[in-house]
Amino acid sequence: MTEDLSGAISRRSLFAMIGKTAGIAVMYEAMASMAYAAESTFKGPIKLAGAPMGASVLILGSGWAGMVSAYELRKAGYKVQILEYNNRAGGRNWSLYGGDTYTELGGFTQHVGFDKGLYLNPGPWRIPHHHRGVLHYAQLLGVQLEPFIQLNYNAYVHSTAAFGGKPKRYREVEADFDGYIAELLSKSMRQGALDQAVTKEDREILLAALKNWGALDNNYAYTKSEKQSDRRGFLHPPGGGMDAMPIPSDPLSLDDMIQSRMWSAIGASKSYDVQQTMFQPVGGMGMLGKAFGKELADVIRFNSKVIDIKQDASGVTATYVDTVKGGAPQTAHGDYCICTIPASVLSQIPINVGAPMQAAINNLPYSASTKVGLQMKRRFWEEDEAIYGGITYTDQPNRMIGYPSSDFFKKGKGVLLAAYTFGSGAVEYTAMSPAERVQKTLDYTANIHPQARTEFDTGVGVGWHRVPFTLGCAGSWTEATRAAHYKDICAIDGRIMLAGEHVSMIPAWQEGAVLSALDAVQRLHSHIVQGA
């Protein structure tokens, strides 16, 4: 940060101050008004050359990291084989359809009763526009994508402790919060509080930006008006003929807005990871796993539970058992190995790696998460409330309700992602039986959508710490554990490398697994070529 002797602060510092005071949206509005906003860049797919003839790589796991590794190494000339625990490819890239059966740890078996074409994505459900790695392979595999609607101003924000537990439309909360913040900032500027820090020209530009952004009146106040109602919605919208005159709506009071804490939901869609445009595969996220699995069908051995991993001077040998047929343990061998088994599971498998990598594996806990899908007899959120896609946020344990971003106006049944939880709420959910998860979620949903009780048809709930092939949602790094173990988990340990979302700086995202795999195959290839 630079400062001149007059005491005025730099534009960078001004933007930072606005961001800390009023949030990213205000800061970006100011930056855009003063032409200080920019885009980021991205790297394309990799190219490998010079693979030693006959060199082989054993890959453990056919999630994103495993399949990207296999695809790129095979393309470069390596012999590859994959051992996969499940009877399908994709790992956490997974959709549950009607007719599917899923058994979690503890023995609970769920028979999915969704109608044809309906599904729940227990794992990832959206692809950000800048996750170019995932988008690259989706195009490569011919998987059709469609828009995913993250932000819907007509969805709800709900607090059990505010406004009698009645939900408010997202647009009402955002418009009122933005309006009051814009009013407060404009007062500060007009009263001379920033005279020594901002030039007169900058102040005039920022005041104009705040007035426009917050829908303020000519006195820079956020009050009931047609301009304000054009953001939050009218009590009576503009019409035609004798019914034409609009009636503005009353904003929530500043005190009620602050105390409700509903404003905490407003920033959810401003994060870089979930900004528009976002995508989803047509027919469910699992369509990507299915397509990649088909591409690599000749190298994947399914129903193979790895129980031991050993390396020596001749290569890496994995011992596995057939989870369906049983029988004696079998082995698979490769000159090298890329292991994508989640650390939560890998920590329970004997593997002869060095102490630093073993410590990294053992010290990486996995976050808790639960998803519950409820099939409804009709798409009442569209028919009754004009909600087409997007997310409702609540302070109840289910945390959010995701509305389907496809099949709009389709008659018949639909599936709500009626719970998507993390942290303590997910731990509580995971401790329940699947039937209890579904019932609790229905109760929470009915507090926002009363129709849910009579429209409910069937449901399914997945608690990720009960999923046998991951034992958790995603690698849960902290600043301290990254400092202690991240380099070690990324290292080449003899003939073994690890890859996956947990071996990335963007855990829990599919892109993290893709980028981790691309980095691993490039470094392993260089290591092999240099040693050949």
User: 478-530 pLDDT, tens per residue?
Assistant: 999 999 999 999 999 999 999 999 999 999 999 999 999 999 999 999 999 99
Distance CA 346, CA 530 (A): 29
**277 preceded by cis ω (within 30°)?**
yes
CATH number at residue 24: 1.20.1440.240
Q: What is the pLDDT of residue 25?
A: 43
**Any bridge partners for residue 371, and if so which?**
420, 462
Q: Are residues 328 and 403 in the same domain?
A: no
The count of domains in the chain is 3
Q: Are residues 338 and 483 in the same domain?
A: yes
Q: How many CB atoms lie within 10 A of CB 142?
A: 8
Number of H helices, E strands in the chain: 17, 22
Q: How many CB atoms lie within 10 A of CB 255?
A: 9
Collapsing DSSP states into helix, strand and coil, what is residue 190?
Answer: helix
The token pair at 363 is 């010290």
**Domain end position, chosen among 441, 466, 491:** 466
Q: What is the pLDDT of residue 18?
A: 52
State the Cα torsion 170-174-177-179 to the nearest 10°. Answer: -130
User: 139-183 pLDDT, tens per residue?
Assistant: 999 999 999 999 999 999 999 999 999 999 999 999 999 999 999
User: Are 361 and 484 within 8 A, CB to CB?
Assistant: no
User: Are 98 and 457 within 8 A, CB to CB?
Assistant: no
CA angle, 440 then 446 then 447, to 5°: 100
Indicate the average pLDDT of the chain. 90
DSSP label at 493?
B
Q: Are residues 356 and 481 in the same domain?
A: yes
Q: Are residues 373 and 355 in the same domain?
A: no
The position carrying tokens 């990507």 is: 288
Q: Which of 221, 227, 189, 228 is nearest to 205 (CA)?
A: 189
Q: Are residues 195 and 219 in the same domain?
A: yes
Name every residue whose Cβ is closer than 8 Å to that of residue 226 and which is 6 or more positions away in sequence: 234, 246, 248
Q: Are residues 383 and 280 in the same domain?
A: yes
Residue ranges in 280-330 assigned as alpha helix (H): 286-295
Q: What is the pLDDT of residue 13?
A: 52
In a domain, 269, yes or no: no
User: Are 147 and 278 within 8 A, CB to CB?
Assistant: yes
Q: Are residues 307 and 354 in the same domain?
A: yes
Look at the alpha carbons of 281, 284, 286, 290 in this order and tell me if their dihedral is positive or negative.
negative
User: Are 63 and 92 within 8 A, CB to CB?
Assistant: yes
In a domain, 373, yes or no: yes
Q: Are residues 487 and 345 in the same domain?
A: yes
Q: Model-level pTM?
A: 0.87
Question: Residue 233: which domain range?
Answer: 11-39+160-260
Q: Are residues 417 and 505 in the same domain?
A: no
CA angle, 467 then 471 then 473, to 5°: 85
Q: Are residues 103 and 121 in the same domain?
A: yes
Phi, psi of 165 (to 5 degrees): 75, 10
Q: What is the pLDDT of residue 185?
A: 86
Instruction: Enumerate long-range contacts of 193-199, CB under 8 Å, 24 or more apart.
Output: 196/6, 196/7, 196/8, 197/7, 197/8, 197/9, 197/14, 198/8, 198/9, 198/14, 199/8
The token pair at 288 is 């990507």
Q: Are residues 381 and 420 in the same domain?
A: yes
**With a cut of 50, which residues of the chain have pLDDT below it?**
1-12, 20-42
CATH number at residue 130: 3.90.660.10
